[in-house]
A and B are shown apart, each in its own frame.
Chain A
Amino acid sequence: MNPGDTILKIQDLHVEFPINIGTVRAVQGVNLELKKGEVMGLVGESGCGKSTLGFSILRLLRPPGRIAGGSIVYRGQDIVKMGRKDLLALRGSKIAMIFQDPLTSLNPLCSIGEHFVETLTTHERSIGRREALERSGKMLESLGIACDRLREYPHQMSGGMRQRIMIGLALIMNPDLLIADEPTTALDVVVEAQFLDLLGDLKNRFNLTIILITHNLGNVAQLADRITVMYGGAMAEVAPAGSLFDRPLHPYTRGLLASIPNIKLDQPKLMTMPGSPPDLVNPPGGCVFHPRCPLSIDLCPTQRPPVFSLDGHLVSCWLYRDSS
């Protein structure tokens, strides 16, 4: 597969969580296309559906969550319709995932080595324990951890080390897609910066395609080639990273960027967006963002905006109905 080929194509994805007061429509008709070798940043507020989208790619939604419609095509195979066996073979081996909290993502009763051996033997039946340990040791060393720490347990490691172990576990099978769900949220700033450097480095070394889910725009600015901004379970804007920061089109993206504190400006108060994220059980009609939108027009509350293409941006907003 050449760089630039489409590796993952999500079309009209709907994810629902039926709960007793109704149905939470966590993801409502998202389209996303991922090219081999690119880093896609997925940003938005808490509860906007970005993590849910990430989990649905591996069909790891917790019950009662379910994919209600749409397709997720990975190299020609639709993951949504995939059988159990194929799915297990895909998870961890072709598409890997790392999670928010490295402190709780490792089983406290299993040594680091056991984690690696289990992952390796799950996907390669023929591999022996010794060979598995050897390969794991090499992986750890390439991440800057001494290989004799394989014998140790998660509680004996620092947070940054555990996150590196998580990424080692994710990459041990040489996957071509990595989904990173807020991988630095639980780390302090220094370790966070080191980790992002490492991620960028690994991307080149392993020829990875990465989906970086985060609410921290700084993270994506550093790593991402393209950025998808999500709001209320729907896609607001997709754009190349630089262009998104320079010239945001969607009013939500603008609000998001304006609320990043800027040290150069003399701001007495942080900029905030008025209102709060939408109720996804009873989402507002039309555009989900219209109750908070400063530029809302009479079309917004009634009709959901389609995606308009403009200067390399894909934007879902009525303001651009005439421009494309």
Chain B
Amino acid sequence: MRNLFRYIISRTLMTIPMVLILLTVIFVVLRLMPGDPVSAMLGGHAPEKVIEQKREQLGLNRPMHIQYADYLWKICHLDLGESMVLQQEVTETITEKLPATIELTFFGMLITLVLGIFLGAYAADKRRTMRDSAIRLYGIVVYCIPVYWLGLMLQLVFGIWLDWLPIAGRTGPRIFPSDFERTGFYLLDTLLMRDWSSFGDVLIHLVLPAFTLGLTLSGIFVRLTRANMLDVLKADYILAAESRGIDHGKVVYGHALKNAFIPILTMMGLQVALLMAGAILTESTFSWPGMGRLLLERIYLRDYPTIQGVIIVFALLVAFISLLVDIIYAVVDPRIRY
């Protein structure tokens, strides 16, 4: 247990250089890109003098290394700075948008895991049957479909033709999130307030975006789970368990799946980055007011501090989840000790 604690500390410390390197790269790349916040704000026809004035005001006229040092200094004080295009603290903007993204990615991942792992395990158990082939086909097709296209198709089918589900936003027009904002996680908020009609509204708004994200990523998990399960099902302890009279279902979904889960867990850690990328596209498709859409908007506006802030938060999320995965390893597998 003490070793695990030490491991967590050392992993956490390791994220610091990681974030620093990432930050430096983003800082430089953003400034090498054509255009800057001033030209994005004022357009190309503003008088030279106004542009100069604005640049001075934002500190963009200073040499790049001075700007960098200044930014790092602020970061060390946990200050992400102020947006260059709006009168907003970056930290504030992010705290407002982050819950939306976490809510979306959490449910997306949940759908991915449940579908991917269950279908994969089922296919492995029924290997070389029609059902197995159907599931494998599903895995490949879903893996190939671009997120936004799937999003558009789901919107078309379930939102327009069938008119079952809303296709944009986190809430309907009659609901005012400002009334129930506590944590920013609307499902949690409405649940805590026992406001069931709002809860239902929030939930149905989540369905299509979460499925879009979840289905796309489930393909790779179906294939991964199936492949791992096929290996595990060949193991002697599976046969041994069956020889002791333990029900086949229990052997497959208990003994075997638990063992197949370890490589799946690794994949989960690695897929978080992909999940974030998927979230950006999904959020754009569904006008989901989260980090992804924020990032996209601010890239158009060349809002350097906000872009940097969003990317740091994404990086920290990925680092945090891979640490979590490592801890789960130790819980699931008695052979792994830190």
Which A residues lie at the B interface, using CB under 8 A? 58, 60, 62-63, 88-93, 96-97, 99-101, 104-111, 118-119, 122-123, 153, 155, 166, 169-170
Decide: B243 and A100 in contact? CB cutoff 8 A.
no
In the assembled complex, the CB of B337 is this many whole angstroms from the nearest CB of chain A, namely 11
Q: In the assembled complex, which residues on chain A have CB atoms less than 8 Å from the CB atom of B127?
A: 63
Q: In the assembled complex, which residues on chain A have CB atoms less than 8 Å from the CB atom of B333?
A: 108-109
Decide: A119 and B245 in contact? CB cutoff 8 A.
yes
Question: Is B247 an interface position by the 8 A CB rule?
Answer: yes
Return the chain B residue nearest A104 by Cβ.
B236
Q: In the assembled complex, which residues on chain A have CB atoms less than 8 Å from the CB atom of B242?
A: 60, 91
Decide: B245 and A99 in contact? CB cutoff 8 A.
no
Q: In the assembled complex, which residues on chain B have CB atoms less than 8 Å from the CB atom of A92?
A: 243-246
In the assembled complex, the CB of B329 is this many whole angstroms from the nearest CB of chain A, namely 11
Question: Is B237 an interface position by the 8 A CB rule?
Answer: yes
Question: Is B18 an interface position by the 8 A CB rule?
Answer: no
Question: Is B40 an interface position by the 8 A CB rule?
Answer: no
Return the chain A residue nearest B334 by Cβ.
A153
Question: Is B259 an interface position by the 8 A CB rule?
Answer: yes
Question: Is B332 an interface position by the 8 A CB rule?
Answer: yes
Distance between Cα atoms of A310 and B86 in the complex (Å): 103
A99/B335 contact (C-beta < 8 A), A88-B247, A92-B245, A122-B246 known: no
| Most chain B CB neighbours (cut-off 10 Å) among A62, A106, A108, A153 | A108
Distance between Cα atoms of A94 and B240 in the complex (Å): 15
Distance between Cα atoms of A215 and B333 in the complex (Å): 35
Distance between Cα atoms of A41 and B333 in the complex (Å): 39
Decide: B247 and A109 in contact? CB cutoff 8 A.
no
In the assembled complex, the CB of A90 is this many whole angstroms from the nearest CB of chain B, namely 7
Return the chain A residue nearest B332 by Cβ.
A109
Return the chain A residue nearest B232 by Cβ.
A107
Distance between Cα atoms of A58 and B335 in the complex (Å): 32
Question: Is B258 an interface position by the 8 A CB rule?
Answer: yes
Decide: B334 and A111 in contact? CB cutoff 8 A.
yes
Decide: A108 and B259 in contact? CB cutoff 8 A.
yes
Decide: A89 and B245 in contact? CB cutoff 8 A.
yes
Contact of B236 among A91, A100, A155, A170 (CB under 8 A): A100
Decide: B243 and A107 in contact? CB cutoff 8 A.
no
Distance between Cα atoms of A97 and B334 in the complex (Å): 26
Q: In the assembled complex, which residues on chain B have CB atoms less than 8 Å from the CB atom of A99?
A: 236, 239-240, 243
In the assembled complex, the CB of B296 is this many whole angstroms from the nearest CB of chain A, namely 43
Q: In the assembled complex, which residues on chain B have CB atoms less than 8 Å from the CB atom of A62?
A: 239
